Amino acid sequence: MKYLILVLIMTVAIFQSNAKTENELCKNPLIHADVPDMSMIRVGDTYYMSSTTMHMNPGVPIMKSKDLVNWEIVNYAYETLGDVDALNLENGKSAYGRGSWASNLRYHEETYYVSTFSSTTGKTYIFSTKDIEHGTWKRQSFEPSYHDNTIFFDDDGNVYMIWGNGKLFIAELKEDLSGVKEGTQKVLIENASAPAGDNIMLGAEGAQLFKVDGKYYMFVITWPRGGMRTVVIHRADDIHGPWEGRVALQDKGVAQGGMIDTPEGRWFSYLFRDNGAVGRIPYLVPLKWENGWPVLGVDGKVPETLDLPASKGLIPGIVASDDFKRKRKEADLPLVWQWNHNPDNSLWSVRERKGYLRLITGKVVDELEEARNTLTQRTIGPECTGITSIDVSNMKDGDIAGLTAFQSKYGQVGVKYENGEKFVVMISAETGEPVELERVPLEQDEVHLKIECDYRNRADIAYFYYSLDGKNWTEIGEPLNMQYTLEHFMGCRFGLYNYTTQTPGGFVDFDYFKIDNQISK
């Protein structure tokens, strides 16, 4: 009997130990938020990653990690990309879904480089800095816009750029990186999708080039028609070829990225997955070497867990609450915030009223998407809540201000000032056109607003609430079926907005923004 009890105790202890170990492991997705087109490097024991945020400004976020799992935003490559109507959201033009696309991050001779491109400006960009976390970036640009380019510093001193879709091109860059050397452009791989078959829906793109033990490895994504997003890797002994390719991963549509090693010599592939309204979310996949090829996954599959530290959550490194209180030398906005386009800096402030974000209306517009100075940050999965409080005592007729779940088919809850009266309203653009679904008279100057986003099991539903005291909440309007659309080409975001349909100059003051990783439903 004593022996049986001892066995039971040991069994329970082993089970508890295994359960604890499971809880301590990293789980996929690595980041349950919109962080697509990642490019990753390791410098010593520190990892850095760039990503895409399209039309948002500042642009090309730079993130930092010590363990490949827990990331924080530490910088941006630029404050604004250019001064054109589309980027300024002026004269009927916008940069939604465009701006700057996939970036490539490199470290060479104690300098960090980011290359990217923009169809909005028609240019290719190379940014450089000695201090990736706190420094400003030197900017160089040239025409044309090289699609999904990767910059590569080779051991012989030559610097290359590779780009393309389906057909990949290569050219040498000038010594000062101000453009490509004349006469060096040529086709590198005629059909980079070929290893995935002949019936291709998306030609190979997103090229990222690596050199390991003297061999060159090119990661690309392609998409066979009727299949899923697929990782293809090409290999060569010389950068100019010949190249041979093979399918490296076909599972869950997890694709596009590259590879990274740890100081201990372990290897991983960083990739992302289309995941509905929350956006394109990063995954990590174990990588091992076999016969000079990187082999991705566990038996060809993306594992649910990894032998890496557990995530501590995305708050406050990727998203964060903000009380808008600023010390004299602090930055006006933490790095989690981005404007929907180039901001008009004369129409916002966190200094005019202590502890508040003030948004002042500018040009007259018809609806939210046309409004400049919408301040956004990511929503996160599998569920999240955004809450704000707003002082509406200085609104003018035609003003609308509040909180939004922002994508092209957005939902918004806020205050509308109309004919001398204020109303709490819920507006839905789920059908493609904004429609006011409910209004409630407002007899006070402060109101609390809340949006809950449910991404569990791809539900992709947002719920809208208001409160007169910050404690008792009333649901308003209808739930929004959130959608990932190519018009914005990014996951749904929380946004603080104030715009006018009649007379500019009114303003509102936001007291705080709070984000949580739970909802009430």
Q: Three-class SS of residue 22?
A: helix
Residue 3 has pLDDT above 60, yes or no: no
- pLDDT tens for 277-303 read 999 999 999 999 999 999 999 999 999
Task: Label residue 314 by pLDDT band (50, 70, 90).
Answer: very high
Residue 39 has pLDDT above 70, yes or no: yes
Q: Three-class SS of residue 123?
A: strand
Residue 15 has pLDDT above 60, yes or no: no
Residue 55 has pLDDT above 60, yes or no: yes
- pLDDT tens for 92-134 read 999 999 999 999 999 999 999 999 999 999 999 999 999 999 9
State the pLDDT at residue 17.
Answer: 43
Q: What is the CA radius of gyration of the chain?
A: 25
Instruction: Give the C-alpha separation, 83 to 342, whole Å.
Output: 8
Task: Return mean pLDDT, the chain.
Answer: 95
Ordered by where they begin, the domains of the chain are 2-309 (2.115.10.20), 338-516 (2.60.120.200)
State the pLDDT at residue 7.
Answer: 45
Task: Label residue 21 by pLDDT band (50, 70, 90).
Answer: low
Where does residue 479 rank: exposed (0-12), middle (13-18), buried (19+ CB within 10 A)? middle
End-to-end CA distance of the chain: 49
Yes or no: say if 221 and 193 are a contact pair by the CB < 8 Å rule: no
Q: What residues have CB less than 8 Å from 19, skipping those under 6 apart?
A: none
Task: Label residue 13 by pLDDT band (50, 70, 90).
Answer: very low
Residue 12 has pLDDT above 60, yes or no: no
Sequence letter at residue 397: D
- pLDDT tens for 413-446 read 999 999 999 999 999 999 999 999 999 999 999 9
Neighbours of 257 (CB within 10 A): 25
Instruction: Give the C-alpha separation, 462 to 481, whole Å.
Output: 7
State the pLDDT at residue 334.
Answer: 98
DSSP sequence for 235-259: EESSTT---EEEEEE-STT-EEEEE
- pLDDT tens for 213-263 read 999 999 999 999 999 999 999 999 999 999 999 999 999 999 999 999 999
For the chain, percent of residues with pLDDT exceeding 70: 96
Task: Name which of 304, 177, 235, 221 is nearest 38 in CA terms.
Answer: 221
- pLDDT tens for 130-163 read 999 999 999 999 999 999 999 999 999 999 999 9
- pLDDT tens for 165-210 read 999 999 999 999 999 999 999 999 999 999 999 999 999 999 999 9
Yes or no: say if 81 and 120 are a contact pair by the CB < 8 Å rule: yes
Give the residue-averaged pLDDT of 75-79.
Answer: 98
For the chain, percent of residues with pLDDT exceeding 90: 95
State the pLDDT at residue 86.
Answer: 98
State the pLDDT at residue 1.
Answer: 52
State the pLDDT at residue 16.
Answer: 46
Please indicate, yes or no, whether the overall pTM of this predicted structure exceeds 0.75: yes
Neighbours of 102 (CB within 10 A): 25
Give the residue-averaged pLDDT of 397-418.
Answer: 98
Instruction: Give the C-alpha separation, 281 to 252, whole Å.
Output: 12
State the pLDDT at residue 196.
Answer: 97
Residue 9 has pLDDT above 60, yes or no: no
Residue 22 has pLDDT above 80, yes or no: no
Residue 8 has pLDDT above 60, yes or no: no
Helix (H) or strand (E) holding 220: strand 215-224
State the pLDDT at residue 10.
Answer: 52
Residue 77 has pLDDT above 50, yes or no: yes
Residue 2 has pLDDT above 90, yes or no: no
State the pLDDT at residue 24.
Answer: 84
State the pLDDT at residue 317.
Answer: 98
Residue 513 has pLDDT above 70, yes or no: yes
